[in-house]
Structure 1
Amino acid sequence: SLLYRTTAEVFYLTLSHTICDAGKEQCIFPLPDPQDLFQASQMKFEDFQKDLRKMKKDLRVCETEAAKVYQLSLEEHLQPFKDSMEQFISQAKIDQENEEKSLAEAHKSFLETAAYFCMKPKMGEKEVSPHSFFSIWHEFSSDFKDFWKKENKLILQERVKEAEEVCRQKKGKSLYNIRPKHDSGIVSKTCSNTSVPISRFTFFSLHF
């Protein structure tokens, strides 16, 4: 686990230079989510192949039973059942073939990917299993996500501090921005309405 954590940390430090939104809310985890990798590690191609074989067998049974209904039913009672069933069975066969093809392609791609990473089957296995392959990536992605969350939190805290410092600087500058004082009150109004200077006696009499 220590090796995985060291590798994950180095990988994060390398990849962090390409993460433009690091520290932002819209920053997206750049690797497959650990939970998705865990679920992938639990799947078995044998189970999917088994399910498809069962579906194919059930489809043949359905087709046989439908044929019996065609034979035992009167001509006037066949429609629309016959057309609906024939359409259903025809489409089901196409879907079945497509699923088998997709599974075969996915299986092939998986084995090619495992070979690319130089993975070999474990003792007693015919080929590399999804569990063997994705378990490693699950642990790596989990460690990487821990670093990712930690570093993004630190980046966010640094940006908050920078924003607070900018606000303090702006606030400090505003204290030196002294506005000119304008005269107000009855004295200024009186002065503006007369060209005769107000004597000291007049000034006191206006205020008392």
Structure 2
Amino acid sequence: MSKAATIAEAFCHILFHIIFEILMRTLGEQCVFPLPEPQDLFQASHMKFDDFQKDLRKLKKDLKACEVEAEKVYQVSSKEHMQPFKENMEQFIIQAKIDQEAEENSLAETHKCFLETVAYFFMKPKLGEKEVSPNVFFSIWHEFSSDFKDFWKKENKLILQERVKEAEEVCRQKKGKSLYKIKPRHDSGIKAKISMKT
């Protein structure tokens, strides 16, 4: 085992016990994995803000085209056949614009939070890149979370084994103090008599 792996395992061991003690105090016996699931971090590492922005721009363009097409339908339709199509389309377009703007704001806020998180961990972009990518950031956390989850399972198993031993010891002590004794069962019957003769 390399020195870095030994240091990482020692760090995980210490971190595990700190987190475990905090969780035991706050949650009691129901102790859950305290980090994001490795699979979630793996998926986050494949996300690209540029792709989301491109998708939102395309969505905005498609919405504008839909609005233009609806206007063409209004112009060629007679007044008696215009409703409820016009009313429904206008409501749809208004709601779609609200939703699209909300998604743009949400993406901008998420991007801002991501950059703040990256700055908090003092990560710098690679040479030639303007900012740290989600791939770089979440790949590191994916590896850490995977290793930590493996260690978490091992430590929980050891703790469970210790508790089982403690419970067995309590049972042994109670058995020793019991007022009655359980005698081993002796076979009596035809089968026992035949086996005794042989």
Give 2:23's aligned residue: 19
Q: Which has the larger radius of gyration?
A: 1
CA contact (8 A) 1:8 1:141 kept: no
Q: TM-score, length-normalised on structure 2?
A: 0.83
**Which of these residues, 155, 158, 162, is aligned with residue 154 of structure 1?**
158
**Aligned amino acid, residue 100 of structure 1:** E
Q: After TM superposition, list the pairs within 5 Å mapping 1:127-138 onto structure 2.
A: 127-138=131-142
CA contact (8 A) 2:33 2:149 kept: yes
Given the alignment of the two structures, is residue 7 of structure 1 paired with residue 11 of structure 2, yes or no?
A: yes
- Secondary structure in structure 2 of the residue aligned to 1:19: helix
Given the alignment of the two structures, is residue 106 of structure 1 paired with residue 110 of structure 2, yes or no?
A: yes
Give 1:167's aligned residue: 171
Give 1:193's aligned residue: none
Structure 1 residues not aligned, in runs of 5+: 178-208
Judged with a 3 Å threshold, the aligned counterparts in structure 2 of structure 1 residues 148 and 14 are, in CA distance, closer, same or farther, namely same
Give 1:144's aligned residue: 148
Q: After TM superposition, list the pairs within 5 Å mapping 1:22-171 onto structure 2.
A: 26-171=30-175
Count of aligned residue pairs for this structure pair: 176
Distance in 1 (CA, whole Å) between partners of 2:139 and 2:38 is 10
Judged with a 3 Å threshold, the aligned counterparts in structure 2 of structure 1 residues 165 and 4 are, in CA distance, closer, same or farther, namely closer
User: Where do 4+ consecutive residues of structure 1 move more than 3 Å?
Assistant: 3-7
Deviations 1:166-185 (A, max 9, x none): 112111211468xxxxxxxx
Distance in 2 (CA, whole Å) between partners of 1:153 and 1:25 is 14
CA contact (8 A) 2:20 2:31 kept: no
- Secondary structure in structure 1 of the residue aligned to 2:177: helix
Deviations 1:41-65 (A, max 9, x none): 1100001001100100000010000
Q: After TM superposition, list the pairs within 5 Å mapping 1:170-189 onto structure 2.
A: 170-175=174-179
Distance in 1 (CA, whole Å) between partners of 2:111 and 2:65 is 28
- What is the Cα-based RMSD across aligned positions, in Å? 2.0
CA contact (8 A) 1:4 1:139 kept: no
Distance in 2 (CA, whole Å) between partners of 1:5 and 1:172 is 41
**Aligned amino acid, residue 99 of structure 1:** E
Distance in 1 (CA, whole Å) between partners of 2:76 and 2:165 is 83
Structure 2 residues not aligned, in runs of 5+: 182-198
Higher relative contact order (CA 8 A, sep 6+): 1
**Aligned amino acid, residue 43 of structure 1:** M
CA contact (8 A) 1:34 1:138 kept: yes
Judged with a 3 Å threshold, the aligned counterparts in structure 2 of structure 1 residues 35 and 25 are, in CA distance, closer, same or farther, namely farther
**Aligned amino acid, residue 19 of structure 1:** L
- Secondary structure in structure 1 of the residue aligned to 2:15: helix
Distance in 1 (CA, whole Å) between partners of 2:123 and 2:10 is 21
